Amino acid sequence: MRDLDILIIGGGIGGLTSAIALRARGHQVTVIERDPEWTVYGVGIIQQGNVLRAMDQLGLLNDYLSAAVGFDFVEVHAPDGTLVAKVPSHRLVAACPANVGIGRRALQRVLADRTRQAGAKVLLGITAQEIADRGHEVDVRFSDGTRGAFDIVVGADGIHSQTRRELFPEAPEPHFTGQAVWRFNLPRPADLDSLHVYNGPIGAGLVPISDSLMYLYLTTPEPGNPRYRQEGLARVMRSKVPSPLASLAEQIVDDAEVVYRPLETLLVEGAWHKGRTVLLGDAVHASTPHLGQGAGMAIEDAIVLAEEIGRHDTPADAFTAYRERRFERCRYIIEQSLAICRGQLGQGPLIDNAKATAAMFEVTAQPI
C-alpha cells in the first residue's frame, strides 16, 4: 500500500516513531495527542542496543545520541550492595555504545522535532470521539467537532488505550502487579559509567542520563495499589530507599519531582487490529520496567508496522503480518519482566537479574 492518509492516536514514543517511519515511506500522517501541553514527566529511560539499531533505521541516530549517555554493560549488585556481575551488552550499531540512558523530555524533543520536520501534522488537545470503519476508509469524529477520513488509524494511546476499548471491549484490562516504580533525578557521580542494578525485595537502580544527571528508580511492593498524595511524596520515597543507596535518600526532597507509577501489565492475545484500525506499543502489550524494554518494543512496533504496510495490498494482510512478527518477542519481554517482579514480591522464585539481563540482550539482538 502506498500514499495512504494515516491517523495516529497518541503523541508518545510509539506514536511519534510510527509517524516518522510512515512519513519516510511517503504516507500522509496526522498525529493527535490529548495533552494540550504535550508534557512528559522529567525523569529518564534506559534503552538498549535494539533501540539504537531502530533509531539508526529511522535516521535519528545522531540526534538521539547527542541527547543521551552511552554505556556498554550493566552492573548487578546483591541486596547488601556487593557487585555480583558485570553484564556486557551487544553493540548492534558500529561505532556506537551498546545502551543509552536518556531523559524522557530530551527523547520527546528529538522525536517531536523530527515528526514535524518530516511533514506530519500534529494536533494537540484533541481526542478521537468516534471511530467508524466504513470498509474503504475510517471516519473519525474529533473532540473539537471536526471530522476526518483516513485510510488507516493507528492506536498508540498507551496502556489505558481508549482505542483498544472501542475495538475490543471484551479484551482484558491492565493488571496491577502488586508493585510500583518510583523515579527521581539526582546529580550524577563522575564514576557512574553504566546502569547499576540492586537486587532485593525493593529493586533499585542508578541510570546515567546526561553529563550531570542520573535517575534513581525503586520498584516497591504496594499491596492494595495505594494512591499517594503529591504532598509528602518525597518523604515516602526516601523511606523506601534500600540501605546500599541510603546516602542518596537525603537528596530526595522535592515532592513535585518524584514520579510514582503503579506497575501494570497487559497482553492482547488475539488480533491487534479490527478493520482498518491497528494497535501498537502499550495499547496492546505493556510490560513492567524490570528489563527496560517497554519503549523499545513500541519503537520496534513502529518500524515493523511501517514495513508491513509497504509490503501488502490490504490493511488486514499488513496488520496480520505485523502482529506475527511482534507477538512472541513482546510476550517474552512481558513474561520475563513479570517473573522478576514476582520474585521480588515473593510470589515466585527469585530471578537472577544478571542471567535475565544477559538472556534479554541475546533475544533483542536478533533482527526484528
What average pLDDT does the segment 193-202 reach? 94
Spatial CB neighbours of 3, under 8 Å, sequence gap ≥ 6 = 26, 27, 28
3-class secondary structure, 26: coil
DSSP 289-301: GGGS-HHHHHHHH
Q: Residue 248 falls within a domain, yes or no?
A: no
Residue carrying the nine cell digits 490493511: 315
Residue 25 lies in a domain: yes
Query: Is the distance from CB of 294 to CB of 341 less than 8 angstroms?
Result: no
**224 occurs within a structural domain:** no
Question: How high is the pLDDT of residue 184?
Answer: 97
Residues 6+ apart with CB under 8 A from 344: 179, 200, 201, 202, 203, 219, 221, 350
Which cell is 248 given? Answer: 542518596
- Mean pLDDT value across residues 76-94: 94
Give the position of cell 529518564: 44
The answer to whether 249 and 261 are in contact (CB under 8 A) is: no
Closest CA to 361 of 88, 86, 78: 88
Domain around 351 = 5-174+264-365
Whole-angstrom CA distances from 71 to 65, 83, 196, 217 are: 11, 17, 11, 18
* Structure confidence by residue, pLDDT tens digits, 241-284: 999 999 999 999 999 999 999 999 999 999 999 999 999 999 99
101 in any annotated domain: yes
Model pLDDT for residues 276-292, shown as the tens digit of each residue: 999 999 999 999 999 99
- Listed residue (133, 121, 129, 51) closest to 92, CA to CA: 51
Rounded mean pLDDT, 91-95: 95
Q: Could you tell me which residues come within 8 angstroms of residue 190 by beta carbon, excluding any fewer than 6 positions away?
A: none
Quote the pLDDT of residue 119.
Answer: 98
Residues pairing with 28 in the sheet: 5
Residue appearing with cell numbers 533482527: 367
Query: What's the pLDDT at 45?
Result: 94
* Cell (9 digits) for 190: 563522575
Does 106 map to a domain? Answer: yes
* Close Cβ partners of 337 (under 8 Å, ≥ 6 residues apart): 265, 287, 288, 289, 290, 291, 293
SS3 42: coil
SS3 at position 207:
strand
- Give the pLDDT band (50/70/90) at residue 41: confident
Residue 111, judged by CB atoms within 10 A of its CB (0-12, 13-18, 19+), counts as buried
Q: Which of 31, 51, 4 is nearest to 114 (CA)?
A: 31
Which cell numbers in the block locate residue 127? 481526542
pLDDT (0 to 100) of residue 161: 98
Mean pLDDT in residue range 130-143: 97
Give yes or no for a contact between 227 and 139, defined as CB atoms under 8 angstroms apart.
Answer: no
Position 227 in a domain: no
> Which residue do the cell numbers 510470589 mark?
347
- Evaluate whether residue 256 is within a structural domain: no
Q: pLDDT-based confidence at 360, cuts 50/70/90?
A: very high
Quote the pLDDT of residue 164. Answer: 98
Does the pTM exceed 0.85? yes
pLDDT reported for residue 286? 98
Work out whether strand 175-187 and strand 44-47 pair parallel, antiparallel, or are unpaired: unpaired
User: What residues does 176 pair with on adjacent strands?
Assistant: 264
When computed from its CA atoms, the radius of gyration of the chain, rounded to whole angstroms, is 20
Express each pLDDT in 158-167 by its tens digit: 999 999 999 9
Domain count, the chain: 1
Q: Please, which pLDDT band fits residue 42 given cuts at 50, 70 and 90?
A: confident
How far is residue 122's CA from residue 144's CA, in Å, rounded to a whole number? 14
Instruction: Name the 3-class secondary structure at 73.
Output: strand
Task: Indicate the residue type of 304.
Answer: V
Reply yes or no on whether the pLDDT at 17 is more than 90. Answer: yes
Does 123 map to a domain?
yes
pLDDT number for residue 146? 97
Closest CA to 302 of 319, 280, 333: 280
